[in-house]
Amino acid sequence: MNLTSQTFTLSTGRKLGFAEYGDPQGAPFFYYHGWPSSRLQGELLHEVAIQHQLRVIAPDRPGLGLSDYQPNRQLLDWPPVLRELADHLGFEKFHVLGVSGGGPYVMVTAHSMPERVLSAGIICGAPPLKVTGTDGLMWTYKLALFAKQNLPWTLGPGLAVAKWTMRPNPTDWPISWLMSGLASEDRRALNDPKRYRIIMGSGHESLASSTQAIRTDGDVYTSDWRFDLKGIRIPIHIWHGELDQNIPASSVKKIAAMIPQAITKWFPNDGHYSLPLLHSAEMVEEMMRG
């Protein structure tokens, strides 16, 4: 069995794809990928999961990778999907970690399924843009938002260009130009061949999905999440780089202040990519300690 290309059929009849990393006999641990990305990003935790005896399950969100599309999907639609997957795998309780665009899915899991969450963490997570606004967001995100609102016909070609820019070598243009504007720690992290391969490979898998599916996944960040962050009653670890040029730390600090038991740590010299690529081991250790 290919552990990185598994599928499970939900009660709705839709197929959900997921990958598995780490220790097959380890403690249950769900990994939520970023945007645009896929289940293959879970490989980032493979070695640390073996070290800490964790069985990492990284699902594709509906419409992405191996997962069937779910029309009009909202953030609150995720907990029932996860509940079915956890039950299928025999996980009564589990740890959950989200990176970047996976952050909101940690929040909604903690809000809707607190009795099943052993620990929760968010690395460089995306905030609800309806609350924080778009100031400080990376220019590519702002461009995508503008296109969605004003030139929706350009989204398909735009995503095709985004897929093309994910070159196999970080020294190739235009990825080299894009990386030149990142924080130095981000560049150092992405210059590692294995880490770079995981980030680009998981992105390619996502961008091979339909334009409609990628757009629906992205719409979650600008939508009304329909639950109160103040209602999250379990601890959530939140880690963010002060030099994050994708998602500004100022927006995340605003959101963290709304979560009653948020445990925050701000990294003064790190950006968006260096945090999960260089510091995931220490973050997983912090989660395990509670």
* Cβ-contact 221, 251 below 8 angstroms: no
User: Which stretch of DSSP H or E encloses residue 194?
Assistant: helix 193-207
Cα of first residue to Cα of last residue in the chain, in angstroms, is 34
pLDDT score for 84: 98
Four-residue CA torsion sign, 33, 39, 40, 45: positive
- Distance from C-alpha of 160 to C-alpha of 77, rounded to nearest angstrom: 28
Lowest mean pLDDT of 4-8, 161-165, 210-214, 271-275, name the range: 161-165
Give the model's pLDDT for residue 179.
78
Query: Among residues of the chain, what percentage have pLDDT more than 90?
Result: 77
Q: Residue 263's pLDDT band (boundaries 50, 70, 90)?
A: very high
pLDDT one-digit tens code per residue, 157-181: 666 666 656 666 777 777 777 778 8
The three-class DSSP label of residue 151 is coil
For residue range 31-40, what is the model confidence (pLDDT) as tens digits? Answer: 999 999 999 9
pLDDT band at 125 (very low <50, low <70, confident <90, very high): very high
Instruction: Report the pLDDT value the prediction gives residue 207, as an integer from 0 to 100.
Output: 87
Q: What is the pLDDT of the chain when averaged over all its residues?
A: 91
Number of neighbours of residue 39 by Cβ within 10 angstroms: 30
- DSSP of 82-112, one letter per residue? HHHHHHHHT-SSEEEEEEGGGHHHHHHHHHH
By CB atoms closer than 10 A (0-12, 13-18, 19+), residue 193 is exposed
Q: Which of the residue ranges 100-104, 178-182, 218-222, 242-246 would you say has the lowest mean pLDDT?
A: 178-182
CB atoms within 10 A of CB 226: 9
Residue 290 burial by Cβ neighbours in a 10 Å radius (0-12, 13-18, 19+): exposed
Q: Which two tokens stand for residue 263?
A: 């445990």
* Domains, in order of start, for the chain: 6-289 (3.40.50.1820)
R_g of the chain, CA atoms, integer Å:
18
What is the reported pLDDT for 157?
Answer: 66
